[in-house]
Each structure stands twice: as structure tokens, then as C-alpha cells.
Amino acid sequence: MVAFAKLRIVLTVFAAPAWLALSACSHTPSPEDIPAGASFITNILADDTKLFTYRQRGFGGPPRENEAGAPERGGERGPKTEQMQKMAERGVVAMLMQNHYCREGYMVLEQYEQQRSYIVRGECRDAASQADREKYSAH
């Protein structure tokens, strides 16, 4: 009985937090993953290739300063590049789920950090239809 109680404590203390951490990382992107200030620009080429540029603003920047103008200890600069990449990937997927621009998935052509933004350029795996041209020509 004592061994069972110890096992139960070990599972409660270690397994539950690990499960929560794994489930939090693997959630399905939703509109809440699209931050305010994100932009999605479409470009349909003459050969029906569908391209897009997703920009997520508000990353990085200089460390916060105190009243004397010196950087604060542990001055936060925002998420690290790896975190920004994951956030942007969730944002792209959420945006595509919302606007249905890439119906058959996409491939990343490039992604990079630039002027407090994280940019993802991609290409849809499906070709543009006439409906796509009509819907996305003004974007």
C-alpha cells in the first residue's frame, strides 16, 4: 500500500506537469495565435503560383532603461529568435486556417527577423484558381 501511495505521488508530481507541458506545446493553432499587428500579403504569379508574406510585429528591440538611462538588470528584449519562430509558425498556420489561401499546405521559402518583426515567406502547394485570383488580387 505504501509503494502504491509513493507511485501515485511521483505520477502526480512529475507526470502531470510533463503532460500539461506537452499538450500546451502541441495545441492546434487558432485565431488567438494571430497577434494584433500581424499582416498577411498575398501574391499570385502568372503561372498560378501562390506566394505569401506573413509579418508578425513587436519582437525584440532595445533593453528597457531605468530612469537614469541605464539598461535594467535582466533587461527584457522580448522572445528569443527560436520562440519568435514558433510563434510566427503558429500565426501562419492560424492565418491560413482562417483565410484558406493555401488549401493543400505550404512550404517555407525563407524566414527571418527584421526591424522588430519576424517574417515568413512561403509558397502554397496548390495552384491558384480563378476564384483565388478574384479573392486575393487586391491583397
Angle at 44 between CA 86 and CA 120, to 5 degrees: 15
Letter string b/e over residues 54-85, b meaning 16 or more CB atoms within 10 A of that residue's CB: bbbeebbeeeeeeeeeeeeeeeeeeeeeeebb
Q: Please check whether residue 94 is in contact with residue 31, taking contact to mean a CB–CB distance below 8 angstroms.
A: yes
> Which grid coordinates are listed for 83?
520562440
Digit-coded pLDDT (tens) for 29-76: 777 778 888 999 999 999 999 999 999 987 554 444 455 555 444 444
Digit-coded pLDDT (tens) for 113-139: 988 899 999 999 999 999 999 999 865
Give pTM, 2 decimals.
Answer: 0.66
Looking at residue 36, what DSSP letter applies? T
